[in-house]
Structure 1
């Protein structure tokens, strides 16, 4: 049974550690208390004039990153803990967007100490109700306030040198977006399979040329893929040995679900086992996170922080492409479009997580479903995908600028939004009537009558009920996730931005997906169908002029983890490749021919990559003292003193 850890009122940020840190200068300014409002959830009118303070955040100035031994204690590896708001803690804007009215989410600068953070909490008259240590994130309970008061408070907080970013927290009744020799159900694998009126159970494989992409199997390497969804059954006959979790905490909090199984089956169901279906990625290692609130414990609301922390942990566990078949467009109670201020606030909040992970050396793609519209009087209306929450509203214009070294465009280049297509017969397609659309959609994929693994609840007997057809953009997103994983596996040194370009570029598609014929499909225009064969071939052409760079890197200070993060920046294009060594400090990178700057914790070296050749840079050691965030986070739970005893300064 799923269990959620909830902080009680006795919890204090000052944990029992061996080293106490002094407060930093410039922290702990007095903050005005937010005005108290009714304990009953409120509805607020959206006023453009009142939103001025929020809009100004598009010009945020990034704050520098400082890491020192006095701030080590903040990386304790406690389980992530989330605030579980009650009904009275939820208010709504006039457009029905729900937010938490008695908490604020604060991300502290890397140099902030425990004492600094506690001083901020005290100045708010607040209480710590949630934390994510790796992100330097605290959820602080405050006096119940309205949306604009909370955002004004966040503006004040961000004037503090100890605070990198602060935001109001949104809460949504987020729901999954659903409406080889493997036997499948009723298949036809010949090239003319789509020249019929009937959609075979493998039609989505044929429509996207995944079977033709499999012809390049010799070029694919192992690559982990992440899934943030509503639970998984690791013992399903077609998923056994494929489902992994970031750690024991996520494994214990996993509650098997038909939706998670269906998504996982599309991406990585075991191939050539004579059962069920064939997943897109052969021998896929799927890092799975169950984001869903536990209704048995009265948790009916999902915060964006819960979902985003699932993303963080999947990426930290090695996932390169992370699937999010979820969304909140169905929770829109009034009208067909959320307010700009609501979309922009969600965008800044969630884009911060992407920016921070990029800054810390990770690269990835977030692939989200466009959403399945909104129901009015029993009729499903497809609306603009920007209303679907999480990553869907993020653009290069409204993404955060608060993280040094990461631009809003860098953030947007790591997001793929997927609409759903239906098969009309005779090799023609149109957008599914329920599928959200609009300018935020990056690509389209099959999403109607998709056959994949299922969970029938008994957990024991697997039969015809262990597989099912489902409709939804939830089924389209994992198709793109699987294809992106194939593409990235050709060269793990690709950037997330490159992989998105291979997958979504117009020239790498074959079929146009017509506008939906449904009168209730409000977005207009055509989209393009993703094509695995063309995307893979584009990636292969890209590496024709590539060379191989090898070397050995060492820290000036040995940290508990021997994996080393570094960057290679092209002197020609400015492209930044975020890399990591193996456990012995060695690396191999396939890169376009040209000159690069290798940056190892501030120590820079010019390197040259020659087309078709292997260039070895020898050994490079950093000249700065460094801190490995992951390693310190794992080891710090024992005590700061134990960690410091393991570090050797050269």
Structure 2
């Protein structure tokens, strides 16, 4: 019984509502992904949500929609019912045409959108989905079949048609209540005893794991192994799929760290994760502490606690776990961002392909790019249906929604005026757009295998969780990519107006995080994965802030010697006015074009984009060509080749080579 929960959320009128879940998995499987898919055609409100209001008896479930005045279909006249049916079938046709049966949303929509629909009960039976309408709009009560007092299995949870895809296509999503939810005026209420409901849900979950196509296991995207919860009730069932914290308390200095959430990484990776979790529970003074996430690969746990009562929790746990024999790295998760300037190409006087000439890119380099080289772009949203993409796309994954469905959001503008949620499309176009069509963009490594990994979604479109970043990197290790491109980061502008003592205090707080990233990048190094990271876009702030320096190494995830850091130069081979940098001579840095780069735009067509976010995929593609020529090169050998290039001083104390693909390829052919 303890595994059956209603998760509390809030409405705009402050009424408390609860979302139905079972063993941390929301009953309507992948509903968030389905609603996100429908959002792309502006039809997300066609699906209702199952929730429980405070004060309602615990054996009742209500369905809610944003529409008011909804009535059951049998309340309408025959002509009205025919018109509503026509609306539904037009909607169904639009959805099935949009999403193919081979895609994750397409498979699920074909299960929940029947070709016949009726709200009429016969012999005590009610069939779902049911149409409810207010005369102009309709919503769908979907996925459940009721017979008398029994709740029969939702057809949605039968599992994918392809058993081999079970691990990626049937992972649970998190349904979050909309602020605009209002009650149906005639809510459908499914009544029945808890015992029967629980039995049905147990059977439902069992079928979810076993499947109706003889699918024996749910496979973890990080380890490739069957998902097993070693400690139900203590650890969440689904690893690498973090539960959102109930509240967020951010630090006042950077506004990016969550003070009431902690990551804990045992230094001894041979430790038993259940023993580690039990020790954590024993030493934690907060009885309300909850484990939000567990990482199968690294045994990292993420917890939420009462920060108001225990502001020194990090110190308490660090000391207690060390005494107990579980010395750990402990840090607060943070949020990152992507940013770039974008404007109409008709306003741009530069040559569309100036960056190709600047890096000495030649026609024969296009054919050199090999599908044997796997390039992962970890980023926000992607428009994989863009007409300029013709690459081989494999192993796509969306970590916030925990599924295979990748999308972009084209109607969100963040407060700074940047369109961030399509960032992945623009970054990917630099590497993977078709060079042989008339659309305009030219990918530098178009024939390599493209692995898009989404780490932001429509719930939090302008922020990227460090937890998703870590899981995405470990996913890349598991599937065996060759290069990871990361065009995002924490802006170091938080240091503006801060004393050196305040800055050092933040850096000290982040020391464990820095050490963890060092271990994480070492895992990539040992797996033969080259890391390319954008340097950032904050140099322009130096002009008006005398004590500010745009040195990107303030952030713990970019203070390692393993990655290759991409800085930006303009058409005159000068450090771009916006490009961050580092004066640390031990770092492997390289300058690549980042001013006014012609690339793909979500929804179709091309655009001009500016930032080190676009210098990074140019460097990534150059490395992909090097590996296409010699796939035995190690990350260290690639850094050595880059460091052997002639360096120029682009700023006082900043010396770096400028990317020349022909030169790098010539050195790749020579003995190291």
Say yes or no: does 1:529 pair with 2:529. Answer: no
1:194-343 matches, within 5 Å, as: 199-211=350-362, 214=365, 217=367, 222-247=372-397, 249-252=402-405, 254-255=407-408, 257-295=421-459, 302-329=464-491, 332=494, 334-335=496-497, 338-339=503-504, 340-342=507-509
CA contact (8 A) 2:583 2:653 kept: no
User: How many residue pairs are counted as aligned between the two chains?
Assistant: 421
Show structure 2 runs of 5+ residues with no match.
1-31, 37-171, 177-204, 207-227, 410-420
Say yes or no: does 1:474 pair with 2:621. Answer: no
CA contact (8 A) 2:379 2:488 kept: yes
- Label 1:273 to 1:78 Cα distance change in 2 as closer, same or farther (>3 A): farther
For 1:365, the equivalent position in structure 2 comes to: 530
The separation in 2 between residues aligned to 1:160 and 1:294, in whole angstroms, is 42
1:533-544 matches, within 5 Å, as: 533-542=662-671
Give the C-alpha shift of residue 228 in structure 1: 0.7
CA contact (8 A) 2:535 2:612 kept: yes
Give the C-alpha shift of residue 366 in structure 1: 1.5
CA contact (8 A) 1:513 1:529 kept: no
Please give the secondary structure, in 2, of the residue aligned with 1:536.
helix
- Label 1:487 to 1:391 Cα distance change in 2 as closer, same or farther (>3 A): farther
Please give the secondary structure, in 2, of the residue aligned with 1:252.
coil
Give the C-alpha shift of residue 300 in structure 1: 6.7
Please give the secondary structure, in 1, of the residue aligned with 2:258.
strand
Show structure 1 runs of 5+ residues with no match.
9-14, 17-70, 180-184, 187-196, 395-411, 516-522, 544-650
Give the C-alpha shift of residue 468 in structure 1: 0.8
Please give the secondary structure, in 2, of the residue aligned with 1:144.
coil
Among 241, 250, 273, the residue aligned to 1:81: 241
Please give the secondary structure, in 1, of the residue aligned with 2:292.
strand
- CA deviation profile, 1:582-605 (whole Å, cap 9, x unmatched): xxxxxxxxxxxxxxxxxxxxxxxx
The separation in 1 between residues aligned to 2:575 and 2:606, in whole angstroms, is 24
For 1:100, the equivalent position in structure 2 comes to: 258
For 2:645, the equivalent position in structure 1 comes to: 508
Moved more, 327-336 or 204-213: 327-336
For 1:421, the equivalent position in structure 2 comes to: 569
For 2:631, the equivalent position in structure 1 comes to: 492
Give the C-alpha shift of residue 177 in structure 1: 3.7
- Label 1:387 to 1:235 Cα distance change in 2 as closer, same or farther (>3 A): same
1:374-453 matches, within 5 Å, as: 383-387=549-553, 389=555, 391-394=557-560, 412=561, 414-424=562-572, 429-440=573-584, 442-453=589-600
CA contact (8 A) 1:104 1:166 kept: no
The separation in 2 between residues aligned to 1:262 and 1:481, in whole angstroms, is 14
The separation in 2 between residues aligned to 1:85 and 1:330, in whole angstroms, is 25
Give the C-alpha shift of residue 299 in structure 1: 7.7
Give the C-alpha shift of residue 85 in structure 1: 4.3
1:81-230 matches, within 5 Å, as: 81-85=241-245, 88-93=248-253, 96=254, 98-108=256-266, 109-113=268-272, 115-123=274-282, 124=284, 125=287, 126-144=289-307, 149-151=313-315, 153-158=317-322, 160-161=324-325, 163=326, 165-172=328-335, 174-179=336-341, 199-211=350-362, 214=365, 217=367, 222-230=372-380
The separation in 2 between residues aligned to 1:77 and 1:222, in whole angstroms, is 35
Moved more, 347-356 or 527-536: 347-356
The separation in 2 between residues aligned to 1:237 and 1:120, in whole angstroms, is 53
The separation in 2 between residues aligned to 1:535 and 1:377, in whole angstroms, is 33
The separation in 2 between residues aligned to 1:270 and 1:389, in whole angstroms, is 35
Please give the secondary structure, in 1, of the residue aligned with 2:557.
coil
Give the C-alpha shift of residue 5 in structure 1: 4.5
The separation in 2 between residues aligned to 1:294 and 1:157, in whole angstroms, is 37
The separation in 2 between residues aligned to 1:444 and 1:147, in whole angstroms, is 43
Give the C-alpha shift of residue 117 in structure 1: 3.1
Say yes or no: does 1:354 pair with 2:513. Answer: no
Q: Point out which structure has higher relative CO (alpha carbons under 8 A, 6+ apart).
A: 1
- CA deviation profile, 1:249-275 (whole Å, cap 9, x unmatched): 442254354321111011121232444
Give the C-alpha shift of residue 142 in structure 1: 2.9
The separation in 1 between residues aligned to 2:315 and 2:174, in whole angstroms, is 25
Give the C-alpha shift of residue 452 in structure 1: 0.8
The separation in 2 between residues aligned to 1:6 and 1:128, in whole angstroms, is 16
Please, what TM-score do these two structures have when normalized by structure 2?
0.55
- Label 1:266 to 1:253 Cα distance change in 2 as closer, same or farther (>3 A): closer
Instruction: Give 1 or 2: higher strand fraction.
Output: 1
- Label 1:211 to 1:300 Cα distance change in 2 as closer, same or farther (>3 A): closer
- Label 1:148 to 1:110 Cα distance change in 2 as closer, same or farther (>3 A): same
The separation in 1 between residues aligned to 2:536 and 2:554, in whole angstroms, is 6
Give the C-alpha shift of residue 144 in structure 1: 1.3
Coordinate RMSD, CA, aligned = 3.9
Please, what TM-score do these two structures have when normalized by structure 1?
0.57
For 2:74, the equivalent position in structure 1 comes to: none
